[in-house]
Amino acid sequence: MQPKINWTLDEVKEIYNTPLLDLIYNAATVHRKNKAYSEVQISSLISIKTGGCKEDCSYCPQAARYNTNVEVEPLMTVEKVKARAEVAKANGASRLCMGAAWREVRDNKDFDRVLEMVSEVNEMGLEVCCTFGMLTYEQAEKLKAAGCFAYNHNIDTSSENYGNIITTRTFDDRINTLNNVRKAKLSVCCGGIIGLGETDKDRINMLHTLSTMEVHPDSVPINALVPIEGTPLQNNKKIGIDEMIRMIATARILMPKSVVRLSAGRNEMSTAEQALCFMAGANSIFAGEKLLTTPNPDFDTDMQMFKMLGLTPRKAFKDIDATKETAENVA
Ligand code: SAM
Ligand code: DTB
Ligand code: SF4
């Protein structure tokens, strides 16, 4: 059955404002209807082209206009990406997400090289996810044909708050790219960030936008702002763990079938804090010692946490294999 997509703002608000322990309990109850509730998808990130981006996203270490410590690096070679993908796979990752500090994809030699990377990593049996900024339908189709599985493009915040964070492209530009991605039958990965200075109303509106999309995003990353020196948000206050849990739990209830990813911000969280996020319905993480440019817990630390909490890494292409098996059983 297709999950509910006609949530009203009042319904979202009511869930979001539930007392925290009740909210965790309710989200955990929804999550436990998924028989694989203790499986966590491990996605590893590689920044294939770093820094020098012309956008003005005010949280981003890679925007050229801010004076951050990030060194600009040109597009990686296919060989280097393959080597990094091998390491991620050996450490239990089922998905490799390649990120590029681009405003949008251009049809040039760099894109041809990226298509080659996608194809090689897909051949290794990893789900390939890409996040390269804006995309046309034709480009989305090319990525799909090369073996790309998912595309990450976040709405980041509410449409009302969007202009306070980014001015060089609009909220509608984002929705347009997401439509191109969905039309090309790529898995949609779309979420946002908290800690940008937004209000609870903005968070509720963002969750409302995500959960009333024509089809829910297949994965929903919830990022806590990693404040970066040199960016306009460098002095933003660290978010409380209760705020992260509230976002995850509400997302879990609103989008029961989506993968909810506990994304940026884990480096500052204890195991106990992360355990509450998993309890509240998070079933994916970014693993490996770096996100794109900032530190993240290393694989060994995460594996110890998985062992302690009784979590297991999810296999690549699991849902697709499950569909195939069911079809074969029926035949
Ligand atoms: N350039 C592409 C784009 O903007 O879509 C892809 C890479 S961009 C870094 C991907 C996402 O990372 C952003 O949409 C944002 O949600 C998240 N992000 C970037 N910097 C962050 C930070 N300092 N803290 C938390 N999340 C961040
Ligand atoms: C997402 O939602 N979070 C990831 C991924 N998608 C591309 C990126 C987080 C970046 C955090 C800052 C950095 O490491 O540069
Ligand atoms: Fe950073 Fe992406 Fe914005 Fe560029 S478009 S500044 S890489 S978030």
**Tens digits of per-residue pLDDT, 144-170?**
999 999 999 999 999 999 999 999 999
Q: Is the pLDDT of residue 331 over 50?
A: no
Q: Which residues contact 271 (CB under 8 A, 6 or more apart)?
A: 305, 308, 309
**Tens digits of per-residue pLDDT, 177-212?**
999 999 999 999 999 999 999 999 999 999 999 999
Indicate whether 132 belongs to any domain: yes
CA distance 306 to 271: 10
Dihedral angle sign, alpha carbons of residues 11, 257, 23, 245: negative
Indicate whether 1 belongs to any domain: no
Catalytic residue among 84, 95, 97, 148: 97
Instruction: Indicate the pLDDT class of residue 319, thresholds 50, 70 and 90.
Output: low
Q: Is the pLDDT of residue 225 over 70?
A: yes
Q: Is the pLDDT of residue 54 over 70?
A: yes
The Å distance, Cα 123 to ligand 2 centre, comes to 25
Nearest by Cα to 132 from 96, 107, 156, 104: 104
**Domain holding 89: CATH number?**
3.20.20.70
Q: Is the pLDDT of residue 63 over 80?
A: yes
Indicate whether 3 belongs to any domain: no
Mean pLDDT of the chain: 94
Reply yes or no on whether 130 is catalytic: no
Residue type, 160: E
Consecutive H or E run containing 98 = strand 95-100
Pocket test for ligand 1, best of 103, 114, 131 (most atoms within 8 A of CB): 131
CB–CB of 73/105 below 8 Å?
no
* 3 state DSSP class of 46: strand
Q: Whose CA is nearest to atom 7 of ligand 3?
A: 101
Catalytic residue among 169, 174, 261, 266: 261
CB–CB of 105/74 below 8 Å?
no
Indicate whether 304 belongs to any domain: yes
Closest-lying ligand 2 atom to the alpha carbon of residue 296: 14
Indicate whether 2 belongs to any domain: no
Instruction: Indicate the pLDDT class of residue 320, thresholds 50, 70 and 90.
Output: low
Within 10 Å of residue 108's Cβ, how many Cβ atoms?
Answer: 8
Q: Whose CA is nearest to atom 9 of ligand 2?
A: 264
Helix intervals (H) in 67-126: 78-90, 109-123
The Å distance, Cα 292 to ligand 2 centre, comes to 6
Instruction: Indicate the pLDDT class of residue 34, thresholds 50, 70 and 90.
Output: confident
Percent of the chain scoring above 90 in pLDDT: 92
Helix intervals (H) in the chain: 9-16, 20-31, 78-90, 109-123, 137-146, 159-165, 171-183, 200-211, 241-254, 271-279, 299-309, 318-330
**Tens digits of per-residue pLDDT, 97-155?**
999 999 999 999 999 999 999 999 999 999 999 999 999 999 999 999 999 999 999 99
Q: Count of domains in the chain?
A: 1
Closest-lying ligand 3 atom to the alpha carbon of residue 63: 6
Within 10 Å of residue 85's Cβ, how many Cβ atoms?
Answer: 23
CB–CB of 152/192 below 8 Å?
no
- Which token pair is 279? 């309890």
Instruction: Indicate the pLDDT class of residue 277, thresholds 50, 70 and 90.
Output: very high
Within 10 Å of residue 28's Cβ, how many Cβ atoms?
Answer: 17
pTM of the full structure = 0.95
CA 295, 189, 97, 56: dihedral to nearest 10 degrees?
Answer: -60
Indicate whether 4 belongs to any domain: no
Q: What is the pLDDT of residue 326?
A: 36
Residues spanned by the domain of 150: 9-330
Q: What is the pLDDT of residue 328?
A: 35
Reply yes or no on whether 129 is catalytic: yes
Indicate whether 171 belongs to any domain: yes
For residues 270-294, one letter each, b for 16 or more C-beta atoms within 10 angstroms of the residue's C-beta and e for the rest, the string is eeebbbbbbbbbbbbbbbbeebbbe
Helix, strand counts (H, E) of the chain: 12, 10
CB–CB of 110/156 below 8 Å?
no
CB–CB of 165/196 below 8 Å?
yes
